[in-house]
Amino acid sequence: MTIERSLVLVKPDGFQRGLSGEVLRRIEAKGYTLVALAILTPTVEQLAAHYAEHEGKPFYEPLVEFMSSGPVTAAVIEGQDCVRGFRSLAGATNPTEAAPGTIRGDLGRDWGLKVQQNIVHGSDSPESAAREIGIWFPGL
């Protein structure tokens, strides 16, 4: 196992519900280190870079609209195999299908077709993490 970094976003729905502290608590309880932390409202340009691979897909515009609708908590975490580990901690993308004990399973709501409102984002690979960290924390 290697020490790696991942980007974690507490999305606008999680931020609005006051769940940033709980998400960060779970990250630290898992043994990962917080390397960088910021609260910001994402710009459309920032989100276009972040979600570039999804441009043109039916969910792209609603996703960018949702993610730019309010503040997010952005964090860079570090630890052994933390990309895969955080995704496991987050749970299935659809909160209705997420297992109890995961962030989405415990804290997520059933939003029907609004699956993007699922509390958190976590990088899906070390390569994506490096790209995403560069977008959200360019000086890191």
Over residues 16-38, the pLDDT tens digits come to 999 999 999 999 999 999 999 99
Over 70: is that where the pLDDT of 106 sits? yes
Q: Count how many domains the chain has.
A: 1
3-state secondary structure of 119: coil
Q: Let me know if residue 28 belongs to a domain.
A: yes
Is 138 domain-assigned? no
- Give the span between the Cα atoms of 113 and 136, in whole angstroms: 27
Does 11 count as an annotated binding residue?
Answer: yes
Distances (CA, A) of 101 to 29, 89, 107, 108: 13, 8, 9, 11
pLDDT at 113: 52
The answer as to whether 7 is a domain residue is: yes
Q: Other CB atoms closer than 10 Å to residue 8's CB: what's the count?
A: 28
The CATH code of the domain that includes 111 is 3.30.70.141
Distance, in Å, from the CA atom of 81 to the CA atom of 126, rounded to the nearest integer, reads 9
Residue 57 lies in a domain: yes
Segments forming the whole domain that contains residue 53: 3-123
- Band (48; pLDDT cuts 50, 70, 90): very high
Q: How confident is residue 2, by pLDDT bands cut at 50, 70 and 90? A: confident
Residue 2 assigned to a binding site: no
Active site residues: 121
As a whole number, mean pLDDT of residues 105-122 equals 80
Please report whether residue 136 resides in a domain: no
pLDDT in tens, 55-80: 999 989 999 999 999 999 999 999 99
Q: pLDDT at position 96, please? A: 87
Residue 91 within a domain: yes
Q: What is the pTM of this model?
A: 0.93
* Domain assignment of residue 130, yes or no: no
Q: Do residues 121 and 8 touch, judged by C-beta distance below 8 A?
A: yes
Please answer whether residues 50 and 132 qualify as being in contact, where contact means their C-beta atoms are separated by less than 8 angstroms: yes
Q: Is 118 annotated as a binding residue?
A: yes
